[in-house]
Amino acid sequence: MASIPCTAVMRSSSVWWATGINDAGIYAGQCENVIIRESEAYGNVIGIEVENTNGFEIYNNRAYDNALGIFVDLLPQLEAKVSLRGKVYDNVSENNNGENFAPPGELAAQVPSGLGLFILAADQNEVYNNVIRGNKTAGIALFNLRIAFEEDEIDVGPNPEDNWIHDNQLENNGFDPDPSVRELGIPGADILWDGSGANNRFDQPGAKSFPPVLPSSRWPTPFYRLYWNVLNTLIGLLS
């Protein structure tokens, strides 16, 4: 079952809503077969978070005015060692440009403001048919664990792999990226990817992205592998 902070979640008619939480308003961690639906999360550091969970669906929710709208993550040093097989669809994640007011020292305090949806090290997820707009840093970000953890802390697979991002409506994202992102030399965009992880596919024609070219499901596997190897070599030279 989803682990939801009872003090944070209230119900109005058929909609659950969560606000004012200095971490995740709606949260499921180290679970299996979770469903988060028909909820509204606003004014939190993280609107909706699914952490180290095997099998989940997030759909028909609205996340807005958080620092981060929807967060799918695999974290180290926990009993559950996977985060995979999720579907995120038919949600609205918009204007998540709020202040990060998490307590200093907490992991949530590292979250940049202005993210619509963030996949951190999680695998085999499908993200589709969402409306993601007005998020100042990025609409969708896909990164590995090394952005937040030292190598000796990581006891899980650090790279996001086999994720498929497609057919989302992306509008007006990346217009004023958080300083922590700018310091890495990364511009704002509809989609940000650090190049890590095998078999990540992006079918989002016309989306502004970093890097400017993203692999799609139409690419032959040999071409994908060549591109991924070249991209990671370039990233290694620049880092």
How does pLDDT run across 14-59, given as a tens digit for each residue? Answer: 567 899 999 999 999 999 999 999 999 999 999 999 999 999 999 9
Distance between CA atoms of 234 and 67, rounded to whole angstroms? 31
Q: Which residue has the higher pLDDT, 145 or 235?
A: 145
Asked if the model's pLDDT at residue 118 lies above 70, the reply is yes
Nearest-angstrom CA–CA distance, 102 and 231 = 34
Structural domain contains residue 179: yes
Rounded average pLDDT over 72-101: 97
**pTM of the entire predicted model:** 0.92
Choose between 62 and 224: higher pLDDT: 62
- The answer to the question of residue 4 being in a domain is no
Check: CB of residue 33 under 8 Å from CB of residue 10.
no
Rg (CA), the chain: 17
Residue 2 maps to a domain: no
Mean pLDDT, to the nearest integer, of 178-197?
92
**Domains: count for the chain:** 1
Q: Where is pLDDT greater, at 214 or 235?
A: 214
The answer to whether residue 80 scores a pLDDT higher than 50 is yes
Q: How is the beta sheet containing 54-59 ordered, strand by strand?
A: 32-37, 54-59, 84-89, 126-128, 164-166, 201-203
Domain of 86, in residue numbers? 9-238
Q: What is the pLDDT of residues 130-168, one digit of tens each?
A: 999 999 999 999 999 999 899 999 999 999 999 999 999
179 pLDDT tier (thresholds 50, 70, 90)? very high
Q: Is 144 a domain residue?
A: yes
Query: Do residues 35 and 57 touch, judged by C-beta distance below 8 A?
Result: yes
Residue 23 placed within a domain? yes
Segment 197-225 shows an average pLDDT of: 91
Q: How many CB atoms lie within 10 A of CB 222?
A: 8
Q: Which tens digits make up the pLDDT trace of 199-212?
A: 999 999 999 999 99
Give the confidence band of 1 by pLDDT, cuts at 50, 70, 90: very low
Residue 57: closest CA among 25, 20, 31, 75: 31
Phi, psi for residue 97 in degrees, rounded to 5: -125, 25
Residue 124 lies in a domain: yes
Q: Looking at the predicted structure, is the pLDDT value of residue 13 above 70? A: no
Which of 69-73, 159-163, 219-223 is the least confident region?
A: 219-223
